[in-house]
Amino acid sequence: MGALRRVVQLLGTQRGRKLVRYSSVSIISAAVSFVVLALVYGVLRLWTEVPSTLFSNVVAGVPAYFLSRQWVWGRSGRSHLWREVVPFWVLSITGIVFAIGAAVLARHVVQADHLHHLLGTVVVMGANVGAFGVLWLFKFLVLNRYVFGAPTPDVALAGDS
């Protein structure tokens, strides 16, 4: 019960609201990436797993940047290239590199197990989600502290005491 109370307290803070909005942006970005990946790899078969994963995640990064900047951290006006754009894309590209690595592993699984294209698409998409899931919290902390905003002195994240 104490953990639930801490989560409720966190959600009532500025940091908690940012975390909810950041989570929403992540869901939107994942949905964009999923749709693009399903189209270019699953339906249209334009490229193999790796270029399809790269393309889908770069496309998803564009709305993620603007939503993060404006909705999560409340920034408006022109973006600052070196303080906002470059760090955001460095973090995004790091995630994309992990996703590409996961796509390569997924391709090996698909080929080794001779999976049908539909099941192979599901494996590649799952690998993409898993790769970004690993970096999700790290990226929030870096964006919140160093890129878009100062840390909030509210309640610490669950687990910090």
Q: What is the pLDDT of residues 87-137, one digit of tens each?
A: 999 999 988 888 788 888 888 998 999 999 899 888 888 887 888 787 888
Cβ-contact 59, 32 below 8 angstroms: yes
Cβ-contact 126, 106 below 8 angstroms: yes
pLDDT of 159 reads 43
As a whole number, mean pLDDT of residues 71-83 equals: 93
Work out the widest C-alpha separation in the chain, in whole angstroms.
Answer: 53
Kindly tell me if the per-residue pLDDT of 151 is higher than 80.
Answer: no
**Residue ranges covered by each domain of the chain:** 2-147
pLDDT of 150 reads 60
Could you give the percent of the chain with pLDDT greater than 90? 45
Average pLDDT, the chain: 86
Kindly tell me if the per-residue pLDDT of 155 is higher than 60.
Answer: no
Number of Cβ atoms within 10 Å of the Cβ of 49:
26
